[in-house]
Amino acid sequence: MPRARRLVVKVGSSSVSGDNTGQIAALVDALAAAHARGTEVVLVSSGAIATGFPFLGLEGRPEDLATQQAAAATGQNVLMFRYQKELDRHGIVAAQVLLTAGDMQNPTHRVNAQRAVDRLLALRVLPIVNENDTVATHEIRFGDNDRLAALVARLLGADALVLLSDVESLYTRPPEHPDAEPIDEVPFGDELAGVTFGSVGSAGVGTGGAGTKVAAARLAAEAGTSVLVTGTALVDRALAGEHVGTWFQAAPRG
């Protein structure tokens, strides 16, 4: 991980919103340390909707699409402000990049996104990518940014992708199960036979779970990007190269 030339880090809604907003500072410190040693860092951050709904007077995640879009528009602004405030301590400028799954499928949009992010990285700016939830429809209701992060990693030819959540690693069963055991490493092509994953995020805030992270990890690994799945609280250790989380080996690059 410390030798990675280009690194994509994804953080989930539950890790940077609500009671966990304070984790943004530690996350930024870890990203800044990697940035300082010359690594090109891209952050894929969920959390716009979860950040926005308290400002709209809502007690929980809205169910209707229009209110989700309104919360996303409000929360994205606040989320970027919070990131930039912490990045200011390190003299790093953030750039907002909003994408949809359709952008990644459209050749023209995809090339434009790649060119823009490549240029931002060359300028030593830290791109912060999120789903464009204000115009997205299906993605808000059923998707998760794990897949977006994998697509971004593939688009940019990243050496490594780090998927952060509220658990330290993947387990053979849901973590609360008494027989659950942590998974240390997943060789490329391993089907993880006999492993059972949950399918939803924590506390009803996020939309992803272990299953989406495995699917995203495989998508990135197929393109030659190694993937680490671990907890947001361990991000500093992860980016420093310590042995934490679940490591997905990448396919050899041709």
Q: Which residues are annotated as a binding site for substrate?
A: 46, 133, 145
Phi, psi of 206 (to 5 degrees): -90, 175
Give the H/E segment covering residue 153.
helix 145-156
Which residues lie below 8 Å from residue 240, measured CB to CB, with a gap of 6+? 1, 2, 33
Angle between helices 65-87 and 23-36 (to 10 degrees): 60
What is the distance between the alpha carbons of residues 3 and 7, in angstroms, rounded to a whole number?
Answer: 10
Distance between CA 12 and CA 141 in Å, rounded?
15
Type of residue numbered 196: T
Three-class SS state of 42: strand
* Owner of token pair 């930024």: 28
Ranges assigned E (strand) in the chain: 6-11, 40-45, 94-99, 126-131, 160-165, 185-186, 226-231, 246-248
Nearest CA to 167 among 243, 242, 244, 219?
Answer: 244
Binding residues for ATP: 10, 165-166
Residue type, 240: A
Which of 234, 180, 221 lies closest to 11 in space, CA to CA? Answer: 234
Binding site per annotation, positions: 10, 46, 133, 145, 165-166
Q: Name 143's bridge partners.
A: none
Q: Are the beta carbons of 34 and 66 closer than 8 angstroms? A: no
